Amino acid sequence: MARSAAVVATGRYLPERLVSNDELRSQLATSGHADIIARLEAGSGIRQRYRAAPDQATSDLAVAAARKALDRAGCRAGDLDLIILGTDTPDRITPATSVIVQAKLGATGAGTLDIGCACASFPTALATATGLIATNRSLRRVMVIGAYMMQRLADPDDPMIFFYGDGAGAALMMPTDGPGLVTSAFLADGRYADDWGIAAGGTAEPASHDAVAAGRTRVRVKRRYPPSINEQGWPRIMRRLATQGDFPLATVNQAVFTQINAASIDNACATLDLAPERAPKLMDRYGYTGSACIPIALDHIIEHRLAGAGDLVTLVGSGVGYNMAGVALRLEERTTR
């Protein structure tokens, strides 16, 4: 049997400070945007989100989540062979944030790499880890992390901060003789690249006084993505996973989608004829946490025993760019105990 990789432990981290929608309304009242919060709340299902402390960076959130996964696995940071970090809110443009995570975690023997395809980063990172483990027998323990802190890069008076919650989730992957990660699928459409992002600070437009003054070094939404992108794209990814993995969609125990809009999740489930209770909607509890929302949800469903050993779980993430990625995996006894 070809070597695969399995998730053996997970962890999540949410900062201490909880920011309710009422607090956001008060914050945005001076800029005249308070009324927008009610509309965004009704459409998304988001009720609250967490905010990192001023002295925390994305790497700190990632380290905290990784430590929880290590503790659950009974492993030490020094046991890791590789760290893969998925984020589009890095500590710095360069070096890679994963090397900062490595140092803070104390994983001195691990290599590192970053994956930066927004909310599709975590499924992409799981698929990458699986491919590396399958082809390199020296890799025994790979830590995959998704972390997000977009609010730090936003204008505090921009009503879109409604969507920017901070957090991180992690999964420790190890080789398996079982199914493990069954298959993966990917979609992208770069025609949307200018619609939502940070215009300046890279090589296309280096940071400058003018760019800062004009707000181009802050994240901005020029055009909202239509709901149809996710409501049509998520089912496409799911059907590819089912075809490639040779399983009926009806056998999926938990289908995790990007946690940005509860209605879109329900609509995707209707398209797939998938029972909506099998698709967790946790944005009312954790907010939307971008690159971290998929691993946070995975940790939640394992912790709350919504899926058990042998169950089939799909993880589908979509983010600005746009990028989409999905994986199907079988949970193992060592994951769920």
Q: Which residues pair with 257 in a beta bridge?
A: 316
Topology classification of domain 182-189+222-336? Peroxisomal Thiolase; Chain A, domain 1 (3.40.47)
The beta strands (E) that lie in the chain are given as 4-13, 17-20, 48-51, 82-86, 111-115, 142-148, 167-176, 181-188, 196-197, 220-221, 252-257, 312-319, 323-330
Q: What is the phi/psi pair of residue 209, to 5°?
A: -60, -45
> Hey, is 271 helix, strand or coil?
helix
Distance CA 326, CA 317 (A): 6
The CATH architecture that domain 4-177 belongs to is: 3-Layer(aba) Sandwich (3.40)
Query: In this predicted structure, what is the pLDDT of residue 335?
Result: 81
Q: Indicate whether 296 pLDDT > 90.
A: yes
Mean pLDDT of the region 195-204: 93
Please check whether the two domains, 4-177 and 182-189+222-336, share a CATH topology: yes
Q: Can you spell out the DSSP letters for 182-196?
A: EEEEEEE-GGGTTTE
- Could you give the count of Cα atoms lying within 13 Å of 124 in the half-sphere of its Cβ? 24
**In the structure, what pLDDT confidence band is assigned to residue 337 with cuts at 50, 70 and 90?**
low
Mean pLDDT of the region 45-54: 97
Using an 8 Å Cβ cutoff, are 289 and 46 in contact? Answer: no
Query: In this predicted structure, what is the pLDDT of residue 336?
Result: 64
Q: Indicate whether 234 pLDDT > 60.
A: yes
Query: In this predicted structure, what is the pLDDT of residue 134?
Result: 95
Mean pLDDT of the region 242-258: 97
Nearest CA to 59 out of 101, 122, 16 is that of 101
Q: Indicate whether 51 pLDDT > 90.
A: yes
Neighbours of 56 (CB within 10 A): 16
For all residues of the chain together, what is the average pLDDT?
Answer: 95
**In the structure, what pLDDT confidence band is assigned to residue 29 with cuts at 50, 70 and 90?**
confident
Nearest CA to 57 out of 21, 20, 98 is that of 98
179 DSSP assignment: -
Which tokens go with 297? 């949800």
Distance CA 29, CA 143 (A): 42
Q: Indicate whether 145 pLDDT > 90.
A: yes
Using an 8 Å Cβ cutoff, are 135 and 47 in contact? Answer: no
Domain ranges of the chain: 4-177, 182-189+222-336
Q: Indicate whether 259 pLDDT > 90.
A: yes
Mean pLDDT of the region 208-228: 91
Mean pLDDT of the region 217-223: 91
Q: Indicate whether 185 pLDDT > 60.
A: yes
Torsion sign (Cα): 288, 95, 113, 208: positive
**In the structure, what pLDDT confidence band is assigned to residue 30 with cuts at 50, 70 and 90?**
confident
Using an 8 Å Cβ cutoff, are 86 and 146 in contact? Answer: yes
Query: In this predicted structure, what is the pLDDT of residue 333?
Result: 87
Query: In this predicted structure, what is the pLDDT of residue 227?
Result: 81
Q: Indicate whether 1 pLDDT > 60.
A: no
Nearest CA to 131 out of 67, 73, 84, 68 is that of 84
- Mean pLDDT is lowest, of 130-144, 214-228, 283-297, for 214-228
Q: Indicate whether 126 pLDDT > 60.
A: yes
